[in-house]
């Protein structure tokens, strides 16, 4: 059974996006990071946790502890659609194979099409192969006294 596919199929039908799934301690801890337009509340996490507890019991998924959470302000970018959804935002990108001797880049997302990520770094646009992206996360925009940045919608 493909746990990620099961979770995506189930939660998408409930109006949530599965951002990431982590299993650790030999699968005993299961973490599910969810999102939805407008953001995630504690009530959303409790609702999804209760639903998944029943679903995973029916599907005979063996685990000791389930954690359901929002992806946080430094949300991971996993799918090509994530890079498109957050165009204009700043992200940290780590490559599997170095480019010009460098694996880590921080820049503004400018586009993602046909398997290529356009990342503006120091005024230059780098074209990075999405298949070579090992990790990517948004960089939270903190400004003292400013309202939090509004979450972008769409992309799904």
Residue 80: is its pLDDT beyond 50? yes
| Alpha helix stretches (DSSP H) within the chain | 3-13, 42-58, 80-85
Residue 82: is its pLDDT beyond 50? yes
Name the percent of the chain lying above pLDDT 70: 90
Q: What is the token pair recorded at 112?
A: 């993602």
- How far does the chain reach from its first CA to its final CA, in angstroms? 24
Query: Tell me, what's the pLDDT at 148?
Result: 56
Q: What is the CA radius of gyration of the chain?
A: 17
Give the DSSP per-residue string, 7-24.
Answer: HHHHHHHTT-EEEEEEEE
pLDDT in tens, 114-141: 999 999 999 999 999 999 999 999 999 8
Residue 152: is its pLDDT beyond 60? no
Quick one: CA dihedral 62, 67, 70, 74, positive or negative? negative
Give the chain's domains with CATH numbers.
Answer: 3-69 (3.30.300.20), 80-138 (2.30.30.100)
How does DSSP classify residue 76? B
- Side-chain-facing half-sphere of 133: CA atoms under 13 Å: 26
């Amino acid at each position: 059974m493909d746990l990620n596919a099961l979770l995506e199929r189930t939660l998408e039908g409930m109006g949530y996006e599965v951002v990431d799934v982590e299993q650790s301690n030999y699968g005993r801890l299961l973490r599910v990071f969810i999102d939805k337009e407008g953001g995630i509340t504690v009530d959303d996490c409790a609702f999804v946790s209760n639903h998944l507890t029943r679903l995973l019991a029916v599907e005979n998924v063996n685990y000791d502890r389930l954690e359901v959470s929002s992806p946080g302000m430094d949300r991971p970018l996993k799918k090509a659609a994530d890079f498109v959804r957050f165009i204009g935002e700043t992200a940290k990108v780590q490559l599997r194979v170095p480019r010009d001797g460098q694996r880590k880049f921080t820049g503004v997302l400018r586009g993602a099409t046909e398997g290529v990520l356009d990342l503006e770094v120091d005024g230059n646009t780098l074209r990075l192969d999405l298949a070579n992206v090992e990790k990517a996360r948004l960089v939270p925009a903190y400004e003292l006294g400013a309202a939090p940045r509004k979450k972008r919608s769409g992309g799904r």
